Structure formats: C-alpha cells, structure tokens
Amino acid sequence: MLRIKIFLVLLTALTIYSCSVNSLETDNSKPENLHKFKDLPDKWINLNSSDWRKELNIANDCDNLSNESELRLKEKISIDKNHFLLTLTCKLGSYQDAYYVYLIDSEKKQIRNVTFEIPQYQNTWDFHSKQLIWGSINKQSNDTQLEIINLSSATGMCGYHGYYAISSILASNLVKLHQAKGDHDCYNGVTVESWPIIKN
C-alpha cells in the first residue's frame, strides 16, 4: 500500500513538471506574437523619454536616468515617410548603453516593439531574440539596412556587427539577421572592420 502511495505522489509530481515545461516551451516559441501594434497615446509627438518609458511600461526595468540628457535617452531613426524607429535608453554603460526599440507608424498613429535576432558567443556563436539591445544602432547609407554594433570591450576588438533588412522590420516585430560579423577574441588586435562573417 505504501509503495502505491509513493508511486502516485511521484506520478503527480512528474505530471505537474511536464505541464510547466510544455507551458514554457509554448511561450518561448512564439516571441513574434507577444507585441502587436497599439494606438499611440495622445500628444505622443511631445513625449520625453521618461513619459515614453512610463507609457510603454518599461520604467521599472530601467536604471535611474533622471540626470541624463534627452540626447542620450531618446533617438528617432527615419525609415520612410510614414515610419520611424524610436529608441529608448534603459541601461547605462561606460562605453555603450542598452535600449528598447519601437516602430512607429505616424500615418496610422500606432506603435509596436521590435525584437532583434542577436549573436551571442558561448564557446561558439549562436543567436537569440532580444528586446533590450546593447550597442549602437544606425541606418546604412543605402537606406535598405539597419546595423547594430555591440562591443564586448572598450578597445573595439571584440563583439558583433549585425545587419538587418529594413523591409523585415516593417513586416514583423521579430527581425532576423541578414548578415553578422563578429569576433570573440578581445586581444587579437582585429577591429570591427575586419571581423569575420559569423552568419550569412
């Protein structure tokens, strides 16, 4: 009788564990469904970085930024006549900051989050979807790609350089890498311009 009770207890625990794991797998498998377009707040054009962080419910996740300039905390990157990216700094670093990125449709007055596929080195290069981005973000001169440069050291000799198609940013909030270069060795003297391709 005791053996039967022990067996039932173990079976119940295993079932609960299995259900929780499956639930986590389901949540993590569809990051593109977590953020849809929503209407912009009234007077959105005049909001400062602090107002935006409160409006988008990220203020509690961020550093105390009250003493920083707006130039460091908020940036707009034009995509086309109706769309631009809004970057909101959340974490401060010594040589690069971390920020959230949002796509704004000024014609429809809507906003949504942008999630990027980001390289990460742990014995080998692999790729993860991230919303909080460390580094610098720029639109290339050809107006068809966006680039993110992340430095793992202040010398600029290690990190990654990711390229993203602007058409992909407009099409989906989960943006895959078009190409990436990177170097995990911070002491080999190789700078960003000469990093090898890690995804093509």
| Tokens standing for residue 17 | 């564990």
| Tokens standing for residue 134 | 């460390």
Residue showing tokens 């909101």: 88
Quick one: 127 exposed, middle or buried, by C-beta within 10 A (0-12, 13-18, 19+)?
Answer: middle
Whether residue 102 contacts residue 115, with contact meaning beta carbons closer than 8 Å, is answered with no
pLDDT at 143: 86
Which one-letter DSSP state was computed for residue 90?
E
pLDDT at 26: 30
Residues 113 and 85: their CA atoms lie apart, in Å, by: 10
Whether residue 138 contacts residue 130, with contact meaning beta carbons closer than 8 Å, is answered with no
Whether residue 47 contacts residue 55, with contact meaning beta carbons closer than 8 Å, is answered with yes
List the one residue out of 139, 9, 164 whose CA is nearest residue 80. 139
pLDDT at 108: 95
Whether residue 128 contacts residue 142, with contact meaning beta carbons closer than 8 Å, is answered with no
Nearest 5°: CA angle at 88, between 114 and 102? Answer: 25
List the one residue out of 118, 116, 68 whose CA is nearest residue 90. 68
Q: What is the pLDDT along the chain (200 residues), one digit of tens a residue?
A: 544 443 333 333 333 333 333 323 333 333 333 368 999 999 999 999 999 999 999 999 999 999 999 999 999 999 999 999 999 999 999 889 999 999 999 999 999 999 999 999 999 999 999 999 999 999 988 889 999 999 998 888 999 999 999 999 999 999 999 999 999 999 999 999 999 999 99
| Tokens standing for residue 149 | 């440069």
pLDDT at 154: 85
Whether residue 160 contacts residue 140, with contact meaning beta carbons closer than 8 Å, is answered with no
